[in-house]
Amino acid sequence: MTASAEKSTMNRREFIALTAVATGELAAFGMSGWAQNKLELDPDSVTNTDYVTDVLVVGGGMAGLFAAVKAHDAGASTLIVSKGRLGSSGLTPFAKGFFTYDPAVESMSIDEFTNAISRSALGTNNPVYTRQLAEHSLARAKELREWGFFDQTLANRPFMVPIQERGIPLIERVVITHLIKENGKIAGAAGFRLDAEETITIVAKTIILCTGAGAFKPNGFPVCDLTHDGTVMAYQIGAKVTGKEWNDGHTTRSVNPAACYDNWGDMFNRIPSTNGVEVHHDLGVDLNYRAYVTGNPVSGGPGGGPVTEEVAGGPFVPEEFQRDFGPPSGGPPGEGDAPGGRPDRGGGPPPGEGGAPGGPPGGGMAGSTMGGASAGMAIHKAEGLVPVDDRCASNIPGLYAAGDALGSYMSGGIYTQIGSSLAGSAVQGAIAGEAAAEYAAQSKVPAIPDTRLKEIINDILAPLRREEGYGPAWVTQTLQGIMIPNFVLYIKRAAMLKAALAFVEELRDHHAPMLRAANMHELRLVFETRNMILSAEMKLRASLMRTESRCSHYRLDYPDLDEENWRAWINIFKGDDGSMQLEKQSFDSWPLQ
């Protein structure tokens, strides 16, 4: 029986019974809404440990690895903290293509490469960061090769080589929740451990956010631990943030859509490899557009399957970068950091990354191809802190970001160079590490008043002390229901964006402050949920402001490029009254400080 036949034969009583079962299941998994907090620990017995360092690296992926190594090698005392395990959290474990620009091999000069990226990105890239990627990628690949990165499938092993050689302190499974600014400069950070009833406070001269980007814990792509933590913490202390209107385009399958491994198995199992210049304009959102116009409003969603006819309109692809993906390959691409491309072309997306043509089938997954697997994530290197220079510095002295936590626009508002995501994180991590070490060498150890630290620790523990409140998992699912539908996040128009914004403001004002946590795991979910809510607000406001369509941002009510008004990025910052403010910054310029 097909799904639609099932639906049509279901009577009202059966529907109610099913709903009751679903609700019961939610409660069983701790997904109740407002409820009593069944506390599993005593918040008053939570201890605190403090640390002091020159450079604090937050995040243990590719960017964090190089940030720590280079900061240490430049003479700074360096500490890495990670929400997960080094090399086994965020997107690093799954990205296997590493772009290198080798002048001995490439026929394109670096100038020509940078220009090709700019043409594909329709001007949205920052050519300074694009060029930097090409100039430094080969050196980073060489170091990774020495550590054994290109000989394995489990990145923790090679990542630990330089960390252990240098004796760089590493604290894993720590959730950083607050950045601390004193006298206008970075002074430290605070958070808590997952495995102990313990908060931690860190006095740091500089901080490098290598926290990755984020999404809405979507189904079908391994980004459920990425919740814009760095971006939102930095926004809260006055950093400028950018890139929120763009959309990553990875896909999943309609049967067991949450099964990341089953859909992307080859990518998980593959040994990393390098690849040369290969500039694309892989949208992903063109599949979402096709889904919207061929089925959505009428029949509740398209069935996918082979494409028999073209649809009119939709996202613009420059003629130079239009591709024919050929016969169906039967599964998602084989690499980690290429968007799904145009899997509508017969159920098989374009070839994978890393110079390995012909995306192999997934692990036998069934069902039609479906967009939105990475819902909530923008284009790699496009969203995050606004850089004020070419060394990954933010507008807050002492605060740096690298990789997917930096809105460097290395690639632009579209994923352009294959394999650039992983390589870009390595390149920027190294640059930020050296820049932060230099800054630290000229700075004194900051002082953070005890009263301020106590206030922050109280804020961290507040969800544990709440006698009743909203469950973070329930609020997250409510947010997903608002933000993930194709007609909100991908195919945008003003009325729908404003409607979603009203819902998100409600979550921000009346749910985020009343989240409860029974244990340290739920405490993590509380902060992740809050960060996703603020990122949702940013995405909706930036999408409303950008009254044109360009790259991965598509407005149904403004379907064309607007070269007169929109050769500009959107920066987001917290206004003096606490409200979210947005401003334009012209392409090819740095923000005013």
Residues that bind another protein (CB under 8 A): 22, 25-26, 29-31, 84-85, 88-90, 93-94, 153-154, 156, 172-173, 194, 217-220, 222-225, 252, 254, 256-262, 268, 288, 291, 295-296, 300-304, 365, 368, 370-372, 375, 473, 477, 480-481, 484-486, 489-490, 521, 524-525
- Nearer to another protein by Cβ, of 203 and 483: the residue is 483
DSSP classification of residue 196: S
- Nearer to another protein by Cβ, of 220 and 348: the residue is 220
**Bridge partners of 417?**
279
Angle between helices 127-147 and 156-166 (to 10 degrees): 90
Chain centroid to Cα 54, Å, comes to 27
CB neighbour burial string for 402-432, b if at least 16 within 10 angstroms, e if fewer = bbbbbbbbbbbbbbbbbbbbbbbbbbbbbbb
Please classify residue 310 by burial: count the beta carbons closer than 10 Å to its beta carbon, then call 0-12 exposed, 13-18 middle and 19+ buried. Answer: exposed
Least distance to another protein, CB of residue 258, Å? 4
Least distance to another protein, CB of residue 54, Å? 27
- Nearer to another protein by Cβ, of 127 and 339: the residue is 339
- Nearer to another protein by Cβ, of 194 and 388: the residue is 194
State how far the alpha carbon of 104 is from the alpha carbons of 76, 107, 110, 446, in Å.
35, 8, 12, 47
Nearest to 544 by CA among 504, 496, 505: 496
In single-letter form, the type of residue at position 364 comes to: G
Chain centroid to Cα 368, Å, comes to 25
Least distance to another protein, CB of residue 18, Å? 11
> DSSP 3-state helix, strand, coil percentages of the chain (rounded to 5)?
40, 20, 45
- Nearer to another protein by Cβ, of 220 and 332: the residue is 220
Least distance to another protein, CB of residue 105, Å? 33
Q: Return d(Cα 58, Cα 186) in angstroms, integer.
A: 14
Least distance to another protein, CB of residue 17, Å? 15
Least distance to another protein, CB of residue 455, Å? 27
Chain centroid to Cα 181, Å, comes to 24
- Nearer to another protein by Cβ, of 253 and 550: the residue is 253
Neighbours of 158 (CB within 10 A): 20
Task: Evaluate whether 216 touches 482 at the Cβ level (below 8 Å).
Answer: no
- Nearer to another protein by Cβ, of 84 and 162: the residue is 84
Least distance to another protein, CB of residue 1, Å? 16
- Nearer to another protein by Cβ, of 236 and 296: the residue is 296
State how far the alpha carbon of 300 is from the alpha carbons of 198, 303, 474, in Å.
48, 10, 24
**Bridge partners of 580?**
574
Least distance to another protein, CB of residue 206, Å? 26
Least distance to another protein, CB of residue 22, Å? 6
- Nearer to another protein by Cβ, of 238 and 303: the residue is 303
